[in-house]
Amino acid sequence: MGVLVEEERGPGGEVEPVLTVFLAGSECPFTCAFCDLWRYTIDQPTPPGALPTQLRLALADESVRRANPRRIKLYNASNFFEPRAVPPADLLVLADLLGPFAGVTVESHPRLVGDACFEFAARIPGRLEVAMGLETIHPEALPRLNKQASLADFSAAAGALRRAGIGVRAFVLVGTPFVPSEDGVAWAVRSAAWALEQGASVVALIPVRGDNGELERLAEAGDFTPPTLRVLEAALEGALRLGQGVVVADLWDALRLPGCAACRTSRIERLARMSRSGRVETSVSCGACAATR
């Protein structure tokens, strides 16, 4: 279990403290080629009561109490509405613990959005938002990612969520395997635009981080090039210029992304500021890497 409180721009554009709780539970049944989240899961079904215990500990954390966040994200490195990952009885307990929050975000594969999701949304006092991995709309790359979800699956899930009054957050990859590196930024921006068209109010751009075994194999085969910080910057700039919804860059482990050591920190800080403000800032100028962008 991990806890993070950070300033985030919400679906309405407001910036406020958001609590993210990383829950430890069962591994995701979908084995996407780009994913490394299995590192933070367990091989067996999540024991009943384990997730509520973790959430209680997180809510009792002194840093959380001081920040007093009104929105919370529960990320379990799997699917919130998959019974092996979240025992059905625990959904009721978790819903009761989430009473103080005006907004609740959970993650789910598009094909697992169903009755359990809608019942959970009805039980919590705040508004539910479901984060789903779109990954890419590239017609050749998406089927090869082993995502086991089509664009039609995402569109159907997003539509069902919207009709139920549930928010939609989309995850879009930057540096997607099987997409030529020179086209990566353009496809990331196109994918963000498509997610927004489907009703996503928030799009998170996630750089593919590598180091999961499969990605190294794909890199050797020429099917994957790790994205750099500059690539993530370009993708965020392009998506922000769409002028729709809220688009943010996921900066978890951003220090691992290839980039110039002299300007790395400045670029990450710029990405964080643009994610909070929704505005493209003046580019970082760096003599060490002889680039101004």
The per-residue pLDDT for 126 is 96
Name which of 48, 50, 57, 43 is nearest 2 in CA terms: 57
Cα separation, 77 vs 22, in Å, equals: 8
For 213-248, write each residue's pLDDT tens digit. 788 889 899 999 999 999 999 999 999 999 999 999
- Contact (Cβ atoms closer than 8 angstroms) between residue 144 and residue 33: yes
How far apart are the C-alpha atoms of 269 and 84, rounded to whole Å? 38
- pLDDT of 142-155, one tens digit each? 999 999 999 999 99
Output the pLDDT for position 30: 83
Specify the 3-state DSSP secondary structure of 263.
Answer: coil
Q: Which pLDDT belongs to residue 290?
A: 62
Write the CA distances from 50 to 29, 70, 80, 188, 240, integer angstroms: 19, 24, 14, 36, 39
Q: How do 2-9 and 15-22 pair as beta strands?
A: antiparallel
CA gap 85, 47 in Å, rounded: 9
Check: CB of residue 169 under 8 Å from CB of residue 202: yes
Query: 14-46 burial by CB neighbour count: b if 16+ within 10 A, else e?
Result: eeeebbbbbbbbbbbebebbbbbbeebbbeebb
Tokens 């978890």 sit at which residue?
252
Query: What's residue 292's pLDDT?
Result: 41
pLDDT of residue 293: 43
Question: For the chain, which residues score pLDDT lower than 50?
Answer: 291-293
Q: Give the residues across from 18 on adjacent strands.
A: 6, 71
- 2-279 domain in CATH 3.90.420.10? no
Q: Look at residue 13 in the predicted model and tell me its pLDDT.
A: 78
Question: CA 83, CA 60: separation in Å to the nearest integer?
Answer: 26
Identity at 282, one-letter amino acid code: T
